[in-house]
Every structure is written in C-alpha cells, then in structure tokens.
C-alpha cells in the first residue's frame, strides 16, 4: 500500500510556516515509520503550484513547487495554506476551481490559517465548523455566513474537512492528522521531537491581543465605557454605572447592549481580564494582588473569568506570557 499522498498547493504570498510546519511533521512521521521498517505508513508530500518552480512567500522566502496543479488521480489530503496572498488566491476563479475539483477526489481537505478563505470560496465550508486566525475570524464569518466560524479554536474537524488557526497552529493540525491516521503515541513522539504540545491547552484567545470596542456614539454610554477603562477595580455594577451617567438601570443596560454589542457585565469582565493579562505579563505580583487590582475581588473569581474568556487559568497564562525576569 503506497504512502498517504498529501498535496500542498502554493500561491504567491503564502505563509511559509503554514507550509513548512505541517510538511516537517508529516515528513517526520514518514522518517519515524521508515526507521521501524513501515515506510508505507508514512506520507508523500507534494508541493504544487500553477507553474512548477520557485513560489514567493509573504515574507520573501521562496519554496520550490516540484509539480503543477494535478488534475487527475486520487489525493489523500489536500492541504491549503494561508498568507497575505490568500485574498488574491480566494478570488482567483481558476485556483478556487482547481481546489474544488481536487477536493472532490481527496479523502480529506484541510487548511491552515487564512487558507480557510479559499475553502470557503470553493463552497467546502458551508454548513460546517471552521477555524482560522483569530484576527480574521470575523471577516470570514461576515464574508461567508453559511460557515460556522469558531474564532477561539486551534483547529476544527467537521467531517472530512479540517481547518486550523494561524501560523504555528498548522503544526497542531498536522499532529492531529497523524493522530487520526495512526494513534496518539505516534503523534506524541513527534510532538516531543518538535518540543510542542500534542494538544495545547486553551484556545486562540490567550494569544490574541485585547480587542477594544469602539466608543459608543451616545455620550452617556461612552462615559460609562470611559469609567470602566479608567478604573477596572471600581464598583462597575449596572446600578453604579447607570447612576454615574444619569440613566435608569433598565434603560442603561438596554442602550449599552445596543450600542456596544454586549451587556455591561460582559464588557466589564473583558476589560478586567485584559487588565489582569497586562499585569501578569509585566509584574511579579501574587495572583491575588493581580485579581484585586484588576477588579475581580478574589483569585477564584479571576480564575473563572480567565477560563471562560481564554480557556486557561491565570497561572498558566503567566508561565507562558510573562516577560522573562533578569537574573543576577
């Protein structure tokens, strides 16, 4: 039985890590199986493009496509990368048409990062869950309302379609593909070799920059937003905010939600989480002190908010994102 064929199409402006990350994982699996005397369990990864030869990535790195876009023959996995060139690729009828046709003869189809836009343009994500880079999740959802975009997912599997978040998440996706094809032990061995999590804790939110909501057009609601940002540790319950801006609680809650896009309590919690994130990243404070400064009142309340918003507890967030301290 031949090795599982992976077809990875390149286009101008692809993200190199979307290609090299999965490529190295899959080739690593092939090396592992070859050492065990089982070469047929590996992967044959083909880099293809509209024209064979060097293809420029969005960072200037060139990768050589050894073949043109194949029009015949079975495909094990069709894996589409993302990158700054995705906008052009997803609106190129010839490339999108080829992806649609190739998907029809593939056992499964996958994308990394904004490669999901190409799959969506080909109609392959309609009615399915999909992941993409957190920065572009809203754009994908707006452009393709039939797609169930999951902005916090590292990767999603929906039937035979797999999609992942940005850049290094392509490694997570490739490890998941190997685990699905073989077993967790093989994927774990590869993860150790690459010094990565087999299944990283939490979702994309822990890596995303704080997303600030635009100021509300109504001055009274904007004044409430300003108060929240100015002092997250203040009493920011609805009665206090409504009194501060001279509105009834019911009217304030309705207007805030209409103009800001979320209830006041949700807004306050997000600002407090973002405040705590900055403190955990930059200050060697006890978690309880961070919780108090950010307005949570207790470390347990902050922990629940972090799990709800970021998918990881504060101590995990600090270990992974705190600036290194200088040692004497």
CA distance 115 to 80: 5
The candidate with the shortest Cα–Cα distance to 145, out of 118, 166, 125, 159, is: 125
Match 């993200």 to its residue by tokens: 15
User: What does 277-315 look like in DSSP terms, one character per residue?
Assistant: HHHHHH----HHHHHHHHT-SSHHHHHHHHHHHTSS-HH
> Pick the catalytic residue: 3, 65, 113, 305?
113
The reply to whether 262 belongs to the active site is no
CA distance 69 to 251: 59
**Is the separation of the CB atoms in 14 and 83 below 8 Å?**
yes
Cα–Cα separations (whole angstroms), residue 308 to 196, 202, 221, 225, 255: 24, 10, 25, 22, 25
- Quickly count: other Cβ atoms within 10 Å of residue 237's Cβ: 12
* Tokens at 43, concatenated: 């992967």
**Is the separation of the CB atoms in 104 and 135 below 8 Å?**
no
**Is the separation of the CB atoms in 154 and 131 below 8 Å?**
yes
CA distance 257 to 308: 20
Q: What angle do CA 90, 84, 100 make, to 5 degrees?
A: 20
The candidate with the shortest Cα–Cα distance to 218, out of 172, 163, 179, 257, is: 257
**Is the separation of the CB atoms in 132 and 114 below 8 Å?**
yes
Residues involved in catalysis: 113
């Amino acid at each position: 039985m031949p090795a599982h064929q992976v077809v990875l199409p390149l286009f101008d402006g692809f993200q190199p890590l979307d290609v090299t990350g999965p490529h190295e994982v899959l080739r690593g699996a092939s090396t592992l199986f070859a050492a065990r005397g089982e070469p047929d369990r590996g992967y044959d990864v083909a880099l293809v493009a509209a024209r064979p030869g060097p293809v420029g990535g969005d960072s200037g790195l060139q990768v050589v496509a050894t073949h043109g876009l194949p029009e015949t023959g079975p495909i094990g996995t069709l894996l589409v990368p993302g990158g700054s060139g995705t906008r052009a690729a997803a609106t190129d009828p010839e490339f999108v048409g080829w992806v649609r046709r190739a998907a029809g003869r593939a056992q499964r189809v996958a994308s990394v990062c904004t490669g999901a836009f190409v799959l969506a343009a080909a109609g392959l994500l309609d009615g399915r869950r999909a992941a993409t880079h957190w920065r572009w999740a809203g754009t994908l959802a707006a452009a393709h309302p039939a797609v169930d975009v999951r902005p916090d997912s590292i990767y999603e599997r929906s039937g035979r379609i797999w999609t992942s978040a940005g850049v290094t998440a392509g490694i997570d996706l490739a490890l998941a593909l190997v685990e699905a094809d073989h077993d967790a032990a093989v994927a774990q061995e590869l993860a150790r070799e690459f010094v990565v999590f087999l299944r990283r804790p939490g979702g994309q939110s822990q890596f995303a920059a704080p997303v600030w909501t635009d100021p509300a057009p109504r001055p009274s609601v904007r004044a409430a937003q300003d108060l929240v940002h100015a002092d997250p540790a203040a009493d920011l319950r609805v009665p206090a905010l409504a009194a501060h801006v001279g509105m009834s609680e019911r009217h304030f809650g309705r207007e805030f939600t209409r103009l800001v896009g979320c209830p006041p309590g949700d807004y306050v919690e997000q600002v407090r989480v973002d405040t705590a994130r900055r403190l955990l990243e930059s200050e060697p404070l006890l978690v309880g002190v961070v919780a108090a400064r950010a307005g949570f009142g207790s470390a347990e309340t902050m922990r629940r908010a972090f799990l709800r918003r970021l998918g990881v507890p504060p101590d995990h967030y600090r270990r992974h994102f705190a600036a290194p301290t200088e040692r004497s």
